[in-house]
């Protein structure tokens, strides 16, 4: 989830909790204020009724809540003394038979006129809590939706503009390469945090660039310097073999050393190639027809396969076109085809399949199922004379392009690359 969307979701949930808690508190505070207002009105009306009753004795005879909002009842002094305070309460009254009962707020008090004590009950219509709650919830939901819409607009208009330099910088970082881009990505912004991020990335990139350059130079120098003495050793060994001064035993030793030097030279080239792949020095992508590369590689290895009486079967049901570095594609296909031939048996077979966007090589072999470390460097099957780097190089190329390479065994050793 993108940062802007995550922040919007977080704010939405937070606001829901905050507004929910705030609304409950506000509801009860509002209800308390409404009751206080009703009680103050009843208190003022009580003073008015008592004052009017002292002037008009007919009011002392009111005994029913008809058109008036109060009733009088004669009481003894003892009863009046027991209630020497005003009592507020909620009640339900049916003032008209044809109407439904109403919720009322009632004030019960007592007073004295000409030595006679009276109990006074005054009522006032009360706000319906159900209606108030429903109205309150409706307006609360409206408020929440309005706030969310406001946040969404702010989030996707103002904040998106604020974060635009960051996303632009991130895009530059994704496409940045040490060997092709001489300048570091830049972020044009005055936001302090983004400026600090840009500086931290610059420091990291400069350090990585220096490390990469030193490593690249070391590998190139090491590979070049090793090739020279290895070539000299090969020449000396060839001269020894061409001479007639060696005994058969000595000649066998020289031949063995000669083969080891050749293997060391091949290993040096493979390690150099693997390092260049992992450092992304090969990345000249262009449209490649995989089928054509496969056919070209098969032609290159036909003589090698015939020497072991190995038959190569090519089964094509799909045409694969991908954006790839031509040199890396050639190396990838060659390594897998060569692996299928080198580790095969005499009179064996190699089945190459191109189907549903995938390339697969399957071969017979005297060995059983391989370990899951088959793509590790220097992993070799017992008795193999290879460098143990062919499949490691294939795995590195696939990793570079985000491809999946799989190994399976079902009587045949199969390696599959899914291009689509």
Mean pLDDT of 261-265: 68
Mean pLDDT of 243-266: 72
Instruction: Report the C-alpha gap between 150 and 161 in whole angstroms.
Output: 16
User: Looking at residue 279, what is its pLDDT?
Assistant: 63
Domain definitions of the chain by residue range: 3-131, 192-278, 286-418
- 264-308 pLDDT, tens per residue? 666 666 666 666 666 666 567 889 899 999 999 999 888 888 888
Question: Taking the model in full, what pTM does it have?
Answer: 0.47
Share of the chain above pLDDT 90, in %: 8
Closest CA to 393 of 234, 308, 272, 281: 272
> Average pLDDT over the chain, rounded to whole?
79
CATH class held by domain 286-418: alpha beta
Helix axes 3-55, 159-174, angle to 10 degrees: 160
User: Looking at residue 20, what is its pLDDT?
Assistant: 79
pLDDT band at 16 (very low <50, low <70, confident <90, very high): confident
Q: Which residues contact 145 (CB under 8 A, 6 or more apart)?
A: none
- 340-382 pLDDT, tens per residue? 898 888 889 999 999 888 999 999 987 877 767 777 766 665 5
- 79-110 pLDDT, tens per residue? 877 776 788 888 887 766 556 777 788 888 88
Instruction: Report the C-alpha gap between 254 and 234 in whole angstroms.
Output: 10
Share of the chain above pLDDT 70, in %: 81
Q: Which residues contact 371 (CB under 8 A, 6 or more apart)?
A: 379
Instruction: Report the C-alpha gap between 92 and 125 in whole angstroms.
Output: 10
Instruction: Report the C-alpha gap between 352 and 299 in whole angstroms.
Output: 13
Q: Looking at per-residue confidence, does 279 or 309 come out higher? A: 309
> In residues, how long is the chain?
420
Q: Looking at per-residue confidence, does 217 or 174 come out higher? A: 174
Contact between 124 and 69 (Cβ < 8 Å): yes
Pairing between strand 349-355 and 311-316?
parallel
Domain 3-131, classified CATH 3.30.450, yes or no:
yes
Distances (CA, A) of 205 to 5, 212, 274: 29, 10, 23
β-strand partners of 276? none
User: Looking at residue 219, what is its pLDDT?
Assistant: 63
Residue 416 half-sphere exposure toward CB, CA atoms < 13 A: 14
β-strand partners of 413? 363, 409
pLDDT band at 130 (very low <50, low <70, confident <90, very high): low
Ranges 4-8, 21-25, 247-251, most confident: 21-25
Mean pLDDT of 216-221: 66
Element (H, E) at 111: strand 102-113
Instruction: Report the C-alpha gap between 19 and 151 in whole angstroms.
Output: 15
The conformation of residue 415, written as its DSSP 8-state character, comes to E
How many other CB atoms sit within 10 Å of the CB of residue 304?
13
User: Looking at residue 361, what is its pLDDT?
Assistant: 92
Closest CA to 108 of 37, 33, 61, 39: 39
Tokens of 238: 């060839």
Residue 27 half-sphere exposure toward CB, CA atoms < 13 A: 18
Distances (CA, A) of 176 to 42, 211, 213: 79, 16, 15
User: Looking at residue 53, what is its pLDDT?
Assistant: 83
Residue 183 half-sphere exposure toward CB, CA atoms < 13 A: 4
pLDDT band at 113 (very low <50, low <70, confident <90, very high): confident
């Amino acid at each position: 989830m993108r940062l802007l969307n995550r922040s919007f979701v977080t704010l939405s949930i937070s606001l829901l909790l905050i507004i929910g808690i705030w609304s409950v508190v506000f509801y009860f505070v509002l209800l308390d204020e409404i009751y206080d207002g009703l009680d103050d009105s009843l208190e003022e009306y009580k003073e008015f009724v008592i004052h009017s009753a002292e002037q008009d004795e007919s009011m002392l005879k009111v005994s029913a809540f008809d058109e008036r909002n109060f009733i009088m009842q004669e009481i003894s002094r003892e009863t009046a003394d027991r209630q020497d305070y005003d009592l507020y309460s909620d009640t339900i009254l049916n003032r008209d038979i044809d109407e439904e009962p109403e919720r009322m707020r009632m004030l019960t008090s007592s007073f004295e006129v000409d030595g006679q004590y009276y109990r006074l009950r005054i009522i006032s219509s009360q706000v319906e809590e159900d209606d108030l709650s429903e109205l309150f919830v409706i307006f609360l939901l409206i408020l929440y939706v309005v706030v969310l819409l406001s946040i969404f607009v702010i989030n996707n208009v103002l904040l998106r503009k604020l974060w635009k330099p960051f996303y632009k910088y991130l895009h530059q970082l994704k496409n940045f390469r040490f060997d092709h881009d001489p300048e570091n990505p830049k972020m044009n912004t005055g936001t302090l945090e983004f400026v600090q991020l840009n500086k931290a990335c610059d420091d990291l990139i400069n350090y990585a660039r220096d490390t990469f350059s030193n490593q690249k130079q070391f590998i190139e120098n090491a590979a070049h310097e090793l090739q020279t003495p290895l070539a000299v050793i090969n020449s000396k060994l060839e001269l020894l073999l061409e001479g007639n001064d060696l005994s058969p035993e000595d000649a066998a030793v020289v031949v063995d050393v000669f083969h080891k030097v050749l293997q060391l030279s091949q290993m040096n080239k493979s390690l150099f190639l693997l390092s260049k792949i992992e450092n992304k020095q090969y990345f000249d992508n262009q449209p490649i027809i995989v089928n054509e590369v496969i056919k070209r590689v098969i032609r290159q290895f036909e003589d090698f396969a015939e020497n072991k009486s190995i038959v190569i079967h090519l089964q094509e049901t799909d045409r694969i076109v991908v954006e790839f570095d031509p040199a890396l594609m050639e190396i990838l296909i060659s390594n897998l085809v060569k692996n299928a031939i080198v580790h095969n048996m005499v009179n064996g077979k190699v089945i190459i399949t191109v189907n549903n966007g995938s390339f697969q090589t399957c071969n017979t072999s005297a060995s059983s199922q391989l370990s899951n470390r088959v793509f590790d460097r220097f992993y070799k099957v017992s008795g193999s004379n290879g460098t143990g780097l062919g499949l490691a190089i294939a795995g590195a190329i696939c990793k570079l392009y985000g491809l999946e390479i799989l190994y399976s065994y079902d009587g045949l050793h199969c390696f599959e690359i899914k291009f689509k």
